């Protein structure tokens, strides 16, 4: 592979912090728009699923499909982070997109569980309640107004808590490493 000219190599290796304020704003605007579009698509999909389809859904199948899609999204975001001109910015927006995906997956799971077994939780749960419950569990707030009662609901909540720990600690570390790899790649002019 031919070596990039020195001026191109320097431009490709320039860190976000080295950009002038106008260029920083442009990079952040593009990253913000990309993130808003990604979040809008996920939230739109969540909102578009009719409640009757949630009630008719199979919890295990939905979780498996959700996690396969999430793993694909994780892979895609890591790939994009390593190959982005400003991997530090991409890593931050990638984490936001992945946290939203986790909220959507668990919210749909809880809404499906509550619809198929009304006694699974201490309160009736619509999709908006499922989002609230998922976010309070993710944030470790746990107000106690909605709690898991059935064994299957408790297992899913336990899985979410463990997954959240992995998500917050593990994926943050993976994205830091991906950003470093992207920065090293830029420095080599690849």
pLDDT of 190 reads 60
DSSP class per residue in the chain: -PPPPHHHHHHHH--GGGS-HHHHHHHHHHHHHHHHHHHHHHHHHHHHS-HHHHHH--HHHHHHHHHHHHHHHHHHHHHHHHHSSSHHHHHHHHHHHHHHHHHHHHHHHHHHHHHH-TTSBSS---HHHHHHHHHHHHTT---SSS-B-SHHHHHHHHHHHHHHHIIIIIIHHHHHHHHHHHHHHHHTT-
Domain ranges of the chain: 7-187
pLDDT of the chain, 190 residues: tens digit per residue: 444 444 433 444 467 778 888 998 999 999 999 999 999 998 998 888 876 677 677 777 878 888 899 899 999 999 999 998 888 889 889 888 988 999 999 998 898 888 888 899 999 888 999 999 999 998 888 888 899 999 999 999 998 999 888 877 788 888 888 888 888 887 777 6
């Amino acid at each position: 592979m031919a070596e990039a000219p020195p001026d191109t190599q320097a431009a490709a290796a320039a860190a976000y912090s080295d950009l002038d304020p106008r260029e920083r704003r442009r990079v952040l605007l593009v990253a913000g728009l990309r993130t808003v579009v990604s979040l809008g698509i996920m939230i739109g999909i969540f909102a578009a699923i009719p409640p009757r389809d949630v009630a008719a859904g199979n919890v295990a199948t939905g979780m498996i499909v959700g996690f396969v899609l999430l793993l694909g999204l994780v892979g895609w975001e890591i790939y994009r982070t390593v190959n982005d001109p400003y991997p530090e910015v991409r890593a931050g927006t990638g984490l936001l997109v992945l946290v939203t995906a986790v909220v959507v997956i668990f919210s749909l799971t809880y809404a499906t569980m509550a619809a198929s077994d009304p006694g699974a939780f201490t309160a009736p749960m619509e999709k908006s309640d499922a989002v609230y419950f998922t976010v309070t569990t993710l944030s470790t707030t746990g107000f106690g107004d909605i709690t898991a009662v059935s064994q299957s609901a408790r297992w899913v909540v336990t899985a979410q808590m463990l997954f959240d720990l992995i998500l917050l600690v593990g994926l943050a570390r993976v994205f830091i490493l991906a950003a470093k790899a992207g920065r090293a790649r830029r420095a080599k002019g690849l």
